[in-house]
Amino acid sequence: MDKPSIVIYIISDSIGETAEQVAKAGISQFNVNDHELRRFPFVTDKNQIMEILEEAKSEKSVIVFTMVIEEFKNILQEEAAKHNIPCIDIMTPVIDSMSQALHNAPRREPGLIRRLDEKYFRKVEAIEFAVKYDDGKDPRGLKKADLVLIGISRTSKTPLSMYLAHKNIKVANVPLVPEVAPPKELFEVPPKKIIGLTTNPMKLIEIRQERLKALGLKHEANYASMERILNELDYAEEIMKKLGCPVIDVSSKAVEESASIILEIFREIGYKINGR
């Protein structure tokens, strides 16, 4: 079998995907069909570098690398120069320019972009979770949730669920309605994972009347009556006491403030969300 006309060594102290894409883009500009790309990820040891270069020096090769650990980057460049192997540093020009613009030193930690990607996907997963298990749609999600919010209608359960989802927290919420028994799964969730939401009845009347107005309904509807609201609040309080969960009053609080209080409650009782 004929040897390739050129071997491109992809070396990285992370997974090497960036260097490989750049190498592919570069070689595509040439009429070379018999090239070969060899990727060496997670190279964080001098011996690894020496072994790769020992192989590379015996054939027509080019090194394309992304290394942020200064020590190993320098070793690679110095040893490649000894063997007259072209060595292309993808990251340093970018990092140096950004460092100059930001007046800040780089962290020099490999794999950070992968961790950022993982954080992003965890957020997407949490948002999808909040949508799927919003308003008690599927009680099976209660045991999978990082935390469960319970309360009567218009106590900010959904806005809080979505806000916390953007912090990578999986939240399910359950409406408490006197005519409908809570799902049995709710009583199987540890109380420390549940937060009860309550509110001032006068404030709630205003909110519900605005809701009825938006729906084109009359203000006199039972949904916005004081008698109905007091009945719902009493029922919710009874359920929350039965569960033994913390309760917060969201009457005059912004979603951000309520979320901050919830997270502080969890910190105080030592319950960790997503390992934090």
> Which pLDDT does position 219 carry in this prediction?
65
Judgement on whether residues 202 and 124 belong to the same structural domain of the protein: yes
Q: Does some domain include residue 1?
A: no
Judgement on whether residues 93 and 130 belong to the same structural domain of the protein: no
Judgement on whether residues 135 and 246 belong to the same structural domain of the protein: yes
Q: Does some domain include residue 256?
A: yes
Judgement on whether residues 106 and 123 belong to the same structural domain of the protein: no
Q: Does some domain include residue 275?
A: no
Please give the model's pTM, rounded to 2 decimal places.
0.62
> Which pLDDT does position 129 carry in this prediction?
94
Judgement on whether residues 84 and 130 belong to the same structural domain of the protein: no
Distance CA 80, CA 85 (A): 5
> Which pLDDT does position 180 carry in this prediction?
94
**CB atoms < 10 A from the CB of 194, how many?**
23
Judgement on whether residues 137 and 78 belong to the same structural domain of the protein: no
Segments in 58-109 forming alpha helices (H) = 70-82, 91-102
Identity of the residue numbered 199: T
43: helix, coil or strand? coil
Judgement on whether residues 30 and 77 belong to the same structural domain of the protein: yes
Q: Is 158 annotated as a binding residue?
A: yes
Backbone angles phi, psi at 267, to 5 degrees: -65, -40
What total of structural domains would you count in the chain? 2
> Which pLDDT does position 276 carry in this prediction?
52
Domain boundary among 110, 144, 161: 110
Closest of 145, 225, 233, 127 to residue 183, by C-alpha: 145
The series of mean pLDDT values per 10 residues for the chain, 276 residues long, is 80 90 93 89 91 92 93 93 95 90 85 71 90 93 95 95 93 96 96 95 89 76 89 97 96 94 85 59
Judgement on whether residues 72 and 186 belong to the same structural domain of the protein: no
Handedness of CA 69, 74, 79, 84 (dihedral sign): positive
> CA–CA distance from 265 to each of 26, 53, 164, 252 (Å)?
54, 55, 14, 18
- The domain that holds 68 is classified in CATH as 3.40.50
> Which pLDDT does position 187 carry in this prediction?
96
Q: Does some domain include residue 239?
A: yes
Domain span at 231: 119-269
Q: Does some domain include residue 274?
A: no
> CA–CA distance from 238 to each of 35, 45, 213, 222 (Å)?
73, 62, 30, 21
Q: Is 108 annotated as a binding residue?
A: no
Q: Is 258 annotated as a binding residue?
A: no
Domain boundary among 110, 138, 168: 110
Judgement on whether residues 196 and 97 belong to the same structural domain of the protein: no
9: helix, coil or strand? strand
Q: The tokens of 222 are what?
A: 């039972």
Judgement on whether residues 47 and 153 belong to the same structural domain of the protein: no
Q: Is 157 annotated as a binding residue?
A: yes
> Which pLDDT does position 243 carry in this prediction?
97
Q: Are 116 and 92 in contact (CB under 8 A)?
A: no
Q: Does some domain include residue 93?
A: yes
Judgement on whether residues 249 and 200 belong to the same structural domain of the protein: yes
Judgement on whether residues 66 and 129 belong to the same structural domain of the protein: no
